[in-house]
């Protein structure tokens, strides 16, 4: 029985670490060029009649074709500027999604299985933004569908919301390999797309899920424990200011369940703000 439990824990550890595909016993570097399959050697002499086998051939064999390399892009400031220009030209969420599907300026696209764009109601008053998708999200192509997503659904239910009344997405639309932290340049390349997504959804309330998302949306270096619990403002590139509540990430709450009481207080603040914006409650200002 103990061996079974230990094996289960080991498999869960591998899955959380990004080891989610059975390959081979030896490690595989997916960034290496794809080698062309070996072909049986042929020669001009072998195709000539036997009577001419002893004659030297005057023809030179054609060079073998160069193996195709996987499409990759070196991330740099140029790609970030390109992303800004492309995002600015989109006029709807469908256009923005199509733009991301065609965009090749971020290497994360080539290691992920799916584009994880968004889920829920784009007409909702509230928009929740995490940092990046994980393994389950990469498989299904939807944000927050794993264990942390299930907890997020319960958190929304606690304040009388569900995914038909909220819009959920991430700053980074592709899963980083092994669930690693996105690099600063990867974040900067993806930033214009999330900023445009916020502009297109036009939420009345923005919720930043976790420290990384809060820092990006609020332009601060403060940690989530300092940020949570009070309203901030996210300013879009067009100058629109949106009330923003930094909230402890569901994945963090799964690891630190004692802090759910802090998240509950912040959820009540979000609920009260939504009621206030809809005219259900008088202003407490």
Condensed to tens digits (0 to 9), the pLDDT of residues 232-245 reads 999 999 999 999 99
Q: Which residues are within 8 A (CB) of 250 and not within 5 positions of it... i.e. 6 or more apart?
A: 144, 148, 149, 151, 152, 155, 209
At residue 50, does pLDDT exceed 50? no
Condensed to tens digits (0 to 9), the pLDDT of residues 110-140 reads 999 999 999 999 999 999 999 999 999 999 9
Q: How far apart are CA 263 and CA 228, in angstroms?
A: 9
CA distances from 100 to 87, 194, 213, 229, 270 (A): 9, 11, 19, 33, 30
Q: Helix (H, G, I), strand (E, B), or coil: what is residue 270?
A: helix
Q: Report phi then psi at 191, rounded to 5.
A: -55, -45
User: What's the length of the chain?
Assistant: 285
Nearest by Cα to 112 from 28, 21, 26:
21
Q: Determine the pLDDT at residue 16.
A: 61
Q: How far apart are CA 12 and CA 278, in angstroms?
A: 43
Apex 206 CA angle, 175 and 251, nearest 5: 45
Which fold does the domain 77-277 belong to in CATH?
Uracil-DNA Glycosylase, subunit E (3.40.470)
Q: How far apart are CA 65 and CA 208, in angstroms?
A: 50
Q: How far apart are CA 96 and CA 109, in angstroms?
A: 15
Contact 130, 249 (CB under 8 A): yes
At residue 168, does pLDDT exceed 70? yes
Q: How many CA atoms lie within 13 A of 130 on its CB side?
A: 27
Nearest by Cα to 229 from 248, 205, 254:
248
Mean pLDDT throughout 51-74?
46
- Consecutive H or E run containing 119: strand 119-120
Tokens 């993806």 -> residue: 190
Q: Helix (H, G, I), strand (E, B), or coil: what is residue 242?
A: strand
| Stated pTM of the model | 0.73
Q: Determine the pLDDT at residue 224.
A: 97
Condensed to tens digits (0 to 9), the pLDDT of residues 240-283 reads 999 999 999 999 999 999 999 999 999 999 999 999 988 875 44
Q: How far apart are CA 272 and CA 54, in angstroms?
A: 93
């Amino acid at each position: 029985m103990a061996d079974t439990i230990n094996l289960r824990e080991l498999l869960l550890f591998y899955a959380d670490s990004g080891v989610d595909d059975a390959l081979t016993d030896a490690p595989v570097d997916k960034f290496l060029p794809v080698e062309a399959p070996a072909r049986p050697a042929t020669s001009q002499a072998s195709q000539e009649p036997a009577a001419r086998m002893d004659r030297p051939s005057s023809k030179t064999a054609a060079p073998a074709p160069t193996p195709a390399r996987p499409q990759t892009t070196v991330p740099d400031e140029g790609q970030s500027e390109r992303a800004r220009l492309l995002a600015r030209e989109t006029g709807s969420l469908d256009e923005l999604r199509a733009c991301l599907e065609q965009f090749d300026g971020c290497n994360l696209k080539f290691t992920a299985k799916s584009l994880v764009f968004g889920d829920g109601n784009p007409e909702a008053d509230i928009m929740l933004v995490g940092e990046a998708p994980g393994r389950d999200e990469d498989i299904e192509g939807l944000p927050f569908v794993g264990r942390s997503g299930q907890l997020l659904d319960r958190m929304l239910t606690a304040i009388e919301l569900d995914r038909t009344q909220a819009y959920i997405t991430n700053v980074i639309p592709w899963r980083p390999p092994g669930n690693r932290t996105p690099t600063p340049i990867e974040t900067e390349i993806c930033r214009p797309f999330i900023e445009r997504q916020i502009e297109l959804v036009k939420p009345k309330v923005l919720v930043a899920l976790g420290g990384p998302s809060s820092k990006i949306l609020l332009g601060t270096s403060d940690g989530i424990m300092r940020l949570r619990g009070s309203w901030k403002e996210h300013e879009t590139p067009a100058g629109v200011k949106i009330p923003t509540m930094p909230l402890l990430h569901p994945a963090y709450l799964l690891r630190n369940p004692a802090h759910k009481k802090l998240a509950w207080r912040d959820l009540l603040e979000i609920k009260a703000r939504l009621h206030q914006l809809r005219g259900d409650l008088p202003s407490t200002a």
